[in-house]
Amino acid sequence: MNGKNIVQAFQISEYRARLDKVRGLMSDAGMVALVVTSEANQCYLLGYESFSGAEPQAVLVTLDDDPYFVLRKMDADFVTDAGCWLPHDRVVGYSESFVGGSGGDSAWELIGQFVNNKVGASARIGVERSALRGTDYHKLVGALGVQELLDGSGLVSACGLVKSERELLYMREAAAIADRAMLAGIDKIAVGTRHCDAAAAIVSALCTGTESVPGGPLPWLPHIRGGQLANAPHQPWMDDVFAAGQQYFLEFSAGRHRHSAPITRVVHIGPATPSRKNLHEGALAGFHAAVDAMRPGATCGDVTRIYDAALRPYGLTRASRIGYSIGIDSIAGPSLAPSSDTEIVANMTFHLQSAFYERGERYMLSDTVLVTENSAELMSNIPRILFERPA
Neighbours of 315 (CB within 10 A): 9
Position 99 pLDDT exceeds 80: yes
Q: Give domain status of residue 344, yes or no.
A: yes
Strand partners, 71: 93
Mean pLDDT, all residues of the chain: 93
Q: Tell whether 96 and 182 lie within a shared domain.
A: no
d(CA 388, CA 202): 18
Report the CATH number that the domain containing residue 243 is assigned in CATH. 3.90.230.10
Mean pLDDT of 49-54: 91
Residue 174: what residue type?
A
Within this chain, do residues 173 and 121 fall inside the same structural domain, yes or no? no
Residue 289 structural domain: 165-389
What are the beta bridge partners of residue 252?
A: 263
Query: What's the whole-number mean pLDDT along residues 304-317?
Result: 96
Q: Give pLDDT tens digits for 206-258.
A: 999 999 999 999 999 999 988 766 666 777 888 999 999 999 999 999 999 99
Check whether residue 322 and residue 342 sit in a common domain. Answer: yes
The pLDDT, as a whole number, for residue 330 is 67
- 3 domain-assigned: no
Contact 57, 98 (CB under 8 A): no
269-283 pLDDT tens trace = 999 999 999 999 999
Q: Are 236 and 349 found together in one domain? A: yes
Contacts of 352 (CB under 8 A, 6+ apart): 287, 290, 291, 294, 322, 323, 336, 366, 367, 368, 369
pLDDT tens digits along 323-333: 999 999 766 68
Instruction: List strands edge to edge, sheet with 125-127.
Output: 91-94, 68-72, 58-62, 33-36, 125-127, 150-151
Q: How far apart are CA 148 and CA 265, in angstroms?
A: 46
In a 13 Å sphere around the CA of 358, the CA atoms on its Cβ side amount to 21
Residues 257, 149, single domain; the answer is no
When comparing pLDDT for 179 and 134, which is higher?
Answer: 179
In a domain, 91, yes or no: yes
Question: Cα 294 to chain center, whole Å?
Answer: 20
pLDDT at residue 104 is higher than 70: no
Domain shared by 230 and 116, yes or no: no
Instruction: Identify whether residues 116 and 238 lie together within a single domain.
Output: no
Domain assignment present for residue 2? The answer is no
Residues 69-84 have a mean pLDDT of 94
pLDDT over 90, % of the chain: 81
188/155 same-domain check: no
Residues 121 and 190 in one domain: no
Of 159, 187, 206, which residue is a domain's last? 159
Angle formed by the axes of helices 134-144 and 107-119, nearest 10°? 40
One domain for residues 355 and 212? yes
CA terminus-to-terminus distance, the chain: 53
- Quick one: which of 226, 243, 239, 223 has its CA closest to 182? 223
121 and 17 co-located in one domain: yes
State how many domains the chain has: 2
Classify residue 365: in a domain, yes or no.
yes
Q: Is residue 6 part of a domain?
A: no
- pLDDT of res. 350: 97
Return contacts of 170-173, CB within 8 angstroms, 24+ apart.
170/9, 170/256, 170/257, 170/259, 171/256, 171/259, 171/260, 171/261, 171/326, 171/327, 171/349, 171/368, 171/370, 171/379, 172/261, 172/379, 173/210, 173/213, 173/254, 173/256
Q: How many CB atoms lie within 10 A of CB 328?
A: 24
Residue 7 lies in a domain: no
For residue 90, name the pLDDT band (cuts at 50, 70, 90): very high
In the 8-state DSSP scheme, what is residue 164? P
The share of the chain scoring above pLDDT 70, in percent, equals 94
Residue 2 has pLDDT above 50, yes or no: no
As a whole number of angstroms, the distance between CA 300 and CA 293 comes to 9
pLDDT, position 8: 86
> Contact 323/330 with Cβ under 8 angstroms?
no
162 has pLDDT over 50: yes
The predicted structure's pLDDT at residue 329: 78
Same domain for 155 and 208, yes or no, is: no
User: How large is the average pLDDT for residues 150-173?
Assistant: 96
Residue 108 belongs to domain with CATH number? 3.40.350.10
